[in-house]
Amino acid sequence: MTLSLPELSSPIFQRPRRLRQSAGLRRLVRETHLQLDDLIYPLFVMEGENQRVEVPSMPGIYRYSLDLLLEELSTVQELGLSAIALFPLIPDSQKNNQGRESYNPNGLIPRAIRAIKQTFPDLIVITDVALDPYSDQGHDGIVDENGKILNDETVAVLVKQALVQAEAGADLVAPSDMMDGRIGAIRKALDAAEHIQTGILAYSAKYASAYYGPFRDALDSAPKFGDKKTYQMDIANSREAIKEVALDRVEGADIIMVKPALAYLDIIARIKPYTYTPIAAYNVSGEYAMIKAAAQRGWVEEKTIVLETLTSIKRAGADLILTYFAKQVAQLGIKNS
C-alpha cells in the first residue's frame, strides 16, 4: 500500500511545528539532554612548578605543572564537573623504547593521582594506559629492530603501568593503545593485586585518525616513523568495531569508547544495540581545534556549535563524552537534572 500525506483539510493532519512554538515546549519534548555528568575533562600535566603553557594548536587548553593543575581542579570541581582524564607530558630524558617510566611508582602520573585524590577525594580520576607518551619512538608499543610494534611484550608493560596507577588511586584506567588482549591481561592483574574496584575504560574502537594531531603536539608524542595503522582501526570499517567492543567487554571492560567522535557517530549508533555497557566517545583534539579556529575567524558562533556538537554525540548513543569543551560548557551554565 502506498501512503500519502492527508489533505490539508483533514482533521488528522499533523503539524509538528506545534511543539516547536516556544522554548518551553521544545524543552518539554526534547529527546536528548546534555548534562555536566555526561562530560569528562581531559587535562595535561607536566613536570615543574608554576608552569601553565598553552598548547599552540588548542587555544584555551594548557599543560599544567602539578601545583597549578590542583588550582585548576579547584575551579573544575566548583563548576560541577565530576571526572577528569589525565595525560602526561614526559621529558625526552625519561623516554625509551620500552616505556619504563610508564610504571615508575614515583613518576609524574602516580604523583599526580595521589595529590589529586588527597585534595579532591570525590573527583573521578581516569588515567591513560599507553606507551606513546613514554616512548622515544612515539608509538603505543615496543618497537623491534624491523619497525614492528610488538603486541604481547607491550601488553606486559601496560599491565605494570595500570597496576601502578591503580595503586596510586586511579578510579578508572583507560588503555588507549589498541594492543590485542590487553583488557583481559589488565583485569586479571588488577584483580590479583586486590584492585577489584578499579574500573577499566577501554578505547575499544579507536581509529587511525588524522584528528589526533593537536593532542600529539600537546604531549610531544607523534610517531618518529610510519603511522599507527597496524594497531589502530581502519577508518573504513564499522563491523570490526562491534567485534572489538565485544572482545573488550568479554575481557572485563567496564566502559567502552569510540574515538574520535564526530566522524564516527555512525559507529556509536551501530554499537549501541550490541551492549549494555556504558559507551564513551572522545571529542578529540582535532575536532576541538577546528571549532576554535572557525570561531576565532567569526565563521561560526562558538557557544551554539559547541552545544550542538556535544548534543549530537549524546544523541548518537554516547553515555559519556571526553571533551576539551567540558569546562567551557560548565561555564555556560549547563547543569545536571
Decide if pLDDT at 9 tops 60: no
- pLDDT at residue 6, rounded to an integer: 56
Beta bridge partners of 232: none
CB 143 within 8 A of CB 149: yes
Res 170 pLDDT > 90: yes
Burial label, 93 (beta-carbon count in 10 A; 0-12, 13-18, 19+): exposed
Distance separating alpha carbons of residues 78 and 67, to the nearest angstrom:
17
Mean pLDDT score of the chain: 92
| Rounded Cα gap, residues 177 and 248, in angstroms | 13
- Residue 76 CA to residue 327 CA, distance in Å, equals 7
Q: What is the pLDDT of residues 23-67, one digit of tens each?
A: 999 989 989 999 999 999 999 999 999 999 999 899 999 999 999
> Are 282 and 275 spatial neighbours (Cβ–Cβ below 8 Å)?
no
Q: Is the pLDDT of residue 10 over 70?
A: no
Q: Does residue 322 have a pLDDT over 60? A: yes
Report DSSP state, residue 325.
Answer: T
Helices 151-168 + 108-119 axis angle, to 10? 30
Q: What pLDDT score was predicted for residue 124? A: 97
Residue in the structure block whose three cell numbers are 567540558: 326
Q: Of the candidates 122, 181, 134, which has an alpha carbon nearest to the alpha carbon of residue 155?
A: 181
Using pLDDT thresholds of 50, 70 and 90, give the confidence band for residue 257. Answer: very high
Percentage of the chain surpassing pLDDT 90?
Answer: 82
Over the stretch 186-242, which tens digit does the pLDDT of each residue have?
999 999 999 999 999 999 999 999 998 887 676 666 777 878 889 999 999 999 999
Cell numbers representing residue 73 in the block: 581542579
Q: Give the model's pLDDT for residue 54.
A: 93
Q: What is the DSSP string of 95-137?
A: --TT-GGGG-TTSHHHHHHHHHHHH-TTSEEEEEE-SGGG-TT
Structure-model confidence comparison of residues 224 and 184, the more confident one: 184
Measured distance CA(211)–CA(17) in Å, rounded: 37
Please report the pLDDT score of residue 219 as a whole number.
65
- So which residues are the catalytic ones? 206, 259
Q: Cβ(128)–Cβ(87) under 8 Å?
A: yes
Q: Is the pLDDT of residue 141 over 70?
A: yes
- Segment 279-306, tens digit of pLDDT: 999 999 999 999 999 999 999 999 999 9
Distance from C-alpha of 217 to C-alpha of 186, rounded to nearest angstrom: 28
Mean pLDDT of 95-101: 93
Distance (Å, whole) CA 184 – CA 152? 12
Of the candidates 31, 151, 130, 30, the residue with the CA atom closest to the CA atom of residue 87: 130
Q: Report d(CA 186, CA 130) in Å as an integer.
A: 12
